Amino acid sequence: MGRWIVGVVSKSLVAVLCIAALAWLAFWYFIPAPPSSIVIATGPVGGTLDLIAQHYRARLAPHLTLDQHSTDGVIENLRLLNDRNSGVDIAFFIGGAANGKQAPELRSLGRVLYFPIWFFYRGPEPLNRLTQLKGKRIGGPVNNPAVSQILAANGISSENSKLSVRVGPAATTGLRDNEVDVQIVLGEANSSIVQSLLRDPGIRLMDVTEADALARIFPYLNRLQLPRGVIDFEKDIPPRDVNLVATTVGVLVHKDVHPEIIYLLAQTLAEEHGGAGIFQRAGDFPTQSDPEFAVAEDARDFYRNGPSFMQRYLPFWMINLTKRAIAALVAVIAIVIPLLNYAPKMYVWLLEAYMAKLYRRLRGVEAQLQSNLTVPEIQDLQSDLEAIDRAVNVLPMRHSDLFLSIEVHIDRTRQRLASRLTELTLPEAGGSRTATPQMT
C-alpha cells in the first residue's frame, strides 16, 4: 500500500514541478529581461539634442548603456526608429515632423522642452508680421517640417523668396556678412547660436504677432513670450517683451521597447526636464499627453503616479526577476490550491482504489476454493489471505463501511479455508489429500 501511494504521490509531485517549470519558462518568454544597452537617434553632432542625449547617458549610466547615433535631423531619426533593423530604440523628434497615423508603431514619452523658432533680421524696418518676409533672402532650417509649414501658411515659398539651408555656425555669419536678410534659428534660448545673435547690437529679433493664431491652427505649435531683460537685465536684452512661436521636442520609442526601459526613460526625462526655465514652470515637462502620438502607457503612469513599489525599493536589475518570480508563484499557487482542495477526495480515492485491488485478490482466493485443492494449496491460500488481512489492517479507514465489509469477507473466507483443511486432515477422510469442493 505504502509503495503504491508513494508512487502515485511522486508522480503527482513530478507533474506539479513540471508545470511550475513550464510556467517559469513561459514567464521568462512573456516577461523578458530588459536589454543592457539601447541606442538613441539625436541629431547633428554638437547640436542641442546631441547635448541633451549626453545628459541622458550620464543619468542612465548606473542602470544601462545609452549609445548615441548622430543624424542629419529629426526626419532621419524617424526613419531609423521605424526601421527595426537600424538598431535605434529611441529618437528625438520635433512637433510637426510626423504623427501617429504616419508612424503607428511609435509611442511618445511626452514632450520634454520648447523649441522656439527665432526670426533674426537686419535693417531699420521693424518686422512683426511673417508676410513681410516674402521676397527676402531667408536662411535657416527651411526644410524643417514646422518651419516650412509656417512659411507656407504666410505665402512664403522658394518661388517668391530665396530660401537657403543655414544651420550651425553658418547661422551666425549669414546676417553679419549680409548673405541673408533673415536667419531662422531653431533651438533653446541658452544655445550658443541664439545667445550670440541676441547679444549682437546690429541684429534684431522679430516679434511674431501672429504667434497665437499659428498655435491655434497647428496643434504642435505654441505661443511663447520672451520677457524684457530676461536674457541680460543689465544690458536690457531683449529691450521689450517679444512674442515667439515655438514647437516642442519629444522623445519617441518603438512600441516593442521593454516596459522597464520605458520606466527608466520616463524617470530620466522627469529628472532632466522637470525644472523651471525661461518658458516653463516646474513640472510642465515632460508632458502626459502628446498632440501627435499616443503616449506610452507606462510613461504616462509614471508621470501621473510616480515610481511603483518595486521601482522605489528594488534595484533596476532585480525588478524583472521579481516580477517573474511573483508570476511563477501565482501560477504555482493557482495549481496547488485546487490540488489541496481536492487532496482529501484524492486521498480517499487512492485508499478505495487500493482496497479494490485487495478485493480482487480476495476474490481470487474465493475462486480457487471452488476447485479441488490439496493441503499445501489450502495452506498457500491461507498465507495469501493473511497477507491480504495485514494489508487491510494498515489502512487508516478502520471505521469505514468498506473496511468492515472486507473484514467480514476475509473472516468468512478464513473459516471456509479452515473447514476445508480440517476435512482433509480428519482420519475418517481415508487419508485422502484432495478436498472436494463444497457448495456454498
pLDDT value, residue 438: 47
- CA dist., res. 276 & res. 117, Å (int): 20
- CA dist., res. 219 & res. 160, Å (int): 27
Domain endpoint, select from 307, 330, 358: 307
Domain endpoint, select from 260, 286, 307: 307
- Tell me: do 345 and 302 sit in the same domain: no
Complete DSSP assignment for 23-80 = HHHHHHHHSPPPPSEEEEE--STTSHHHHHHHHHHHHHTTT-EEEEE--SSHHHHHHH
**Angstrom distances, CA of residue 68 to CA of 24, 52, 58, 304, 321:** 35, 11, 12, 29, 28
Assigned domain for 326 exists: no
- Tell me: do 261 and 212 sit in the same domain: yes
Assigned domain for 249 exists: yes
pLDDT value, residue 136: 95
Assigned domain for 336 exists: no
- Tell me: do 303 and 345 sit in the same domain: no
- Tell me: do 235 and 294 sit in the same domain: yes
Residues 6 or more apart whose Cβ sits within 8 Å of residue 330: none
The parent domain of residue 377 ranges over 341-435
Assigned domain for 316 exists: no
Q: What is the CATH number of the domain that holds 46?
A: 3.40.190.10
- Tell me: do 298 and 345 sit in the same domain: no
- Residue that has been written with the C-alpha cell 527676402 in this structure: 136
Assigned domain for 415 exists: yes
pLDDT value, residue 73: 84
pLDDT value, residue 436: 47
Residues 6 or more apart whose Cβ sits within 8 Å of residue 425: 375
Assigned domain for 332 exists: no
- Tell me: do 252 and 377 sit in the same domain: no
| Overall number of domains in the chain | 2
Residues 6 or more apart whose Cβ sits within 8 Å of residue 15: none
- CA dist., res. 265 & res. 288, Å (int): 14
- Tell me: do 103 and 193 sit in the same domain: yes
Assigned domain for 30 exists: no
pLDDT value, residue 67: 95
- Tell me: do 345 and 303 sit in the same domain: no
- Tell me: do 225 and 371 sit in the same domain: no
Q: What is the pLDDT along the chain (440 residues), one digit of tens a residue?
A: 445 455 555 656 666 666 666 655 555 555 567 788 999 999 888 888 999 999 999 999 988 999 999 998 888 999 999 998 999 999 999 998 889 999 999 999 999 999 999 999 988 888 989 999 999 999 999 988 899 999 999 999 999 999 999 887 888 888 999 999 999 999 889 888 999 999 999 999 999 999 999 999 999 999 999 999 999 999 999 999 999 999 999 999 998 898 889 989 999 999 999 999 999 999 999 999 999 999 999 999 999 988 776 676 667 666 666 666 666 667 667 766 776 676 677 777 777 787 788 888 888 888 888 888 888 888 888 888 888 888 877 766 655 677 777 788 888 888 888 888 888 777 544 444 444 454 34
Assigned domain for 333 exists: no
- Tell me: do 158 and 273 sit in the same domain: yes
pLDDT value, residue 430: 46
Question: Long-range contacts of range 364-371, CB-CB < 8 Å, 24 or more positions apart?
Answer: 365/413, 365/417, 366/413, 369/413, 369/416, 369/417, 369/420, 369/437, 370/437, 371/437
Surface-to-core class of residue 397, CB atoms within 10 Å of its CB (0-12 exposed, 13-18 middle, 19+ buried): middle
Domain endpoint, select from 307, 333, 359: 307
- Tell me: do 370 and 300 sit in the same domain: no
- Tell me: do 244 and 347 sit in the same domain: no
